[in-house]
A = this chain, B = another copy of it.
């Protein structure tokens, strides 16, 4: 995954345009992704799909022709969505259009002007401080014209039409953790899932942030109503501990599944929903209120490299990417396999020993596998699912699930049909 991040890093992505398309076509080599094109001007709820933006070059040069700021060195140098410009002006007039990070003087910030036609440059404070007075030639060789907004979709059909939604914003230019890490983890996850039978239909979306999820929701309300569980993925490669931000509901199955998986995995953080962050803002708007949480390592805005040129390929660690993928898969294991079983021998414990499931010699303490059997038997009253049992026993969902399958095999447990409601 890290090699792919390295490969995609130089591409200048935005919420529309060829950089976005190029990136998704490259991901399609991992898992087939269908690209959808939505024309500029399309009304999507309160918003309008913007004009398409493309850029070829941009620079600021002094009177001697020396280029102080150059898009070819870093695509962060141009304010994303800047209108085309070709002009000469004195430093004093240029200055209000130059964005820096005075407290991180070596870094270039990432700035955008999607919904307000304007232009500007981002550069390090160090360079800004060196700019001699005088006239500057400014060039932004971009285009902002009617075109399309693109989004990518990988739909993996399951046994049921109910969906698990994985949503990944893919519109940031040369930023590695936010959002290339999410893109490569999401594509790899989709490839893994495509190789196994699925209970739920899984939909992986690669979209531009905010306007992309709004557009998808506006054009796919029926599909949105089928979403039973969802995760927004981003910032999955930094060295921080994994962090799960709950859905607006707070107690959805995905919230409990993610909390369980992270608790079992070690150091982590669980946070309540706030209406700021990534596309969970839209999925969790009150008119949808979908059970969609957000999995990151260090959340947006909380690592110093966030939205700067320091969020680069070196900041992202292969081990963190692998761990993030494994955590996501473990969460999906819960979503796919949580079920309720009924103990067919509910009065007292069954004699596990004569079924080969219990030690012959008594007196010493029970091993984990026996504890899992006892927990499943004790709580399988029709009112507790496997996740309920995993939570209450503080044992891993996988361990509890294996115990349930074992007990089902020897006829002590029966999987409850989804048509049976309420507690027995």
Contacts and interface: CB of A to CB of B under 8 A. Distances in A.
A287 B374 contact: no
A65 interface: no
Contacts of A288: 347-348
A292 to B, nearest CB: 13
A4 interface: no
Contacts of A346: 285-287
Contacts of A362: 111-114
A275 B377 contact: yes
A213 B118 CA distance: 67
A350 B218 CA distance: 13
Interface string A120-149: 100000000000000000000000000000
Interface string A376-395: 01111100000000001100
A364 B104 CA distance: 14
A360 B99 CA distance: 14
B348 A287 contact: yes
A46 to B, nearest CB: 4
Give how many copies assemble into the complex.
Answer: 3
Nearest to A283: B348
Interface in A363-413: 363-366, 371, 374-375, 377-381, 392-393
Interface residues of A, number: 64
A349 interface: yes
A245 interface: no
A363 B275 contact: no
Contacts of A109: 363-364
A71 B389 CA distance: 44
A70 to B, nearest CB: 20
A46, A111, A307, A375 — most chain B CB neighbours (10 Å): A46
Contacts of A289: 381
B281 A366 contact: no
A86 interface: no
Given A112-B362, A378-B284, A378-B286, A46 B276 contact: no
15 contacts: A45-B348, A79-B361, A110-B363, A115-B354, A116-B353, A214-B349, A218-B347, A275-B374, A281-B349, A284-B378, A285-B377, A286-B346, A286-B379, A288-B347, A288-B348
